[in-house]
Amino acid sequence: MKTGCLIKALIGSTIFFAVVFYIATNKLDDYVVNPIKNFSVKYVTKDLKEKFHYVKETPEKDSLFSQINYYTNNIKKFNTIHLEEIGDVIDSIDFFLEDSIVTTKDLENINAMIEAKLKNERSKKN
């Protein structure tokens, strides 16, 4: 194969893949990007009920899970999802629940942390 033909093939294939990638990420959000976001968030948060099985059943525990659902539903709305950050939030929640009891103070601290993370993500978005 001649050098000129090889260069034309490389340039053509690069442009083709760039166009396909652009269309897939910007124009087909409902078919490509959003399912990947949903899968990623579900993958990270799938075993939360099992992970926190040691926490005693209280109304605060139900409130905790509703706050976690609120966080995961809001995080899906952003353009980029940082899975490490979601993992850090879950680890922080685990730290608050070391004594296996969800107190209202723990719940307030977790809520403040979640709101701060969401506010931080919103400020990155703008």
What does the alpha-carbon distance between residue 97 and residue 30 come to, in Å, rounded to a whole number? Answer: 37
Gap between the Cα atoms of 111 and 108, Å rounded:
5
- How high is the pLDDT of residue 122? 65
pLDDT tens digit sequence for 60-72: 888 888 888 888 8
The DSSP secondary-structure symbol of 37 reads H
Per-residue model confidence as pLDDT tens digits over 35-62? 877 887 777 777 777 777 788 888 888 8
Quote the tokens at residue 36: 């990947």
Closest CA to 54 of 105, 88, 114, 102: 102
Cα Rg of the chain, angstroms: 21
Per-domain boundaries in the chain: 29-125
Of 109, 117, 108, nearest to 89 by C-alpha is 117
pTM of the model: 0.64
**Residues 19, 10: Cα–Cα separation, whole Å:** 14
